[in-house]
């Protein structure tokens, strides 16, 4: 079963623009994580936000978490061609923290 669902499934933007991806989930979580996957490679952890946090920044990344709406967003500012990748959210479910549950991902294409 997929706990997190990303939206949109695919996003194409010009270099320099901002990219926003959303993640919705179904049950209470302990934390939510975002990962990037370049074509043919493994996932790389980007940022972790805990359920008692509302916003977190890391370089050009900004993640928000709204536990009342069970949703999170990932904003990449001033995008670059190198940001082209698939982005996944993953949730650690409260009370059952034995695994991360991944969404199906957003494919981001940044055009030069």
Partner 1 sequence: NAGVTQTPKFQVLKTGQSMTLQCAQDMNHNSMYWYRQDPGMGLRLIYYSASEGTTDKGEVPNGYNVSRLNKREFSLRLESAAPSQTSVYFCASSPAGQFGHQPQHFGDGTRLSIL
41: tokens are 């490679």
Minimum distance from residue 66 beta carbon to partner 1 (Å): 20
Determine if 75 is a binding residue for partner 1 (CB under 8 A): no
Minimum distance from residue 78 beta carbon to partner 1 (Å): 24
Q: Which class for 107: exposed (0-12), middle (13-18), buried (19 or more C-beta within 10 A)? A: middle
Query: Cα separation of 39 and 8, whole Å?
Result: 18
Torsional sign, CA 92, 95, 98, 101: negative
Choose the binding region for partner 1 from 11-19, 42-50, 60-68, 74-82 (rule: CB under 8 A). Answer: 42-50
Determine if 104 is a binding residue for partner 1 (CB under 8 A): yes
Query: Cα separation of 31 and 40, whole Å?
Result: 27
Nearest CA to 22 out of 42, 47, 48, 4 is that of 4
Determine if 27 is a binding residue for partner 1 (CB under 8 A): no
Determine if 103 is a binding residue for partner 1 (CB under 8 A): yes
Determine if 58 is a binding residue for partner 1 (CB under 8 A): no
Among 28, 44, 55, 80, binds partner 1 (CB under 8 A): 44
Q: Which residues bind partner 1 (CB under 8 A)?
A: 1-2, 4, 30-31, 33, 40-45, 48, 88, 90, 92-93, 97-105
């Amino acid at each position: 079963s997929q706990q997190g669902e990303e939206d949109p499934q695919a996003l194409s933007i010009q270099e320099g623009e901002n990219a926003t991806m959303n993640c919705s989930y179904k049950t209470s979580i302990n934390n939510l994580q975002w990962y990037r996957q370049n074509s043919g490679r493994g996932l790389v952890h980007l940022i972790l936000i805990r359920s008692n946090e509302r916003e977190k920044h890391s370089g050009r990344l900004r993640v928000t978490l709204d536990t009342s709406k069970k949703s999170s967003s990932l904003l990449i500012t001033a995008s670059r061609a190198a940001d082209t990748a698939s982005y996944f959210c993953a949730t650690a479910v409260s009370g059952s923290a034995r695994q991360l549950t991944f969404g199906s991902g957003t494919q981001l294409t940044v055009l030069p």
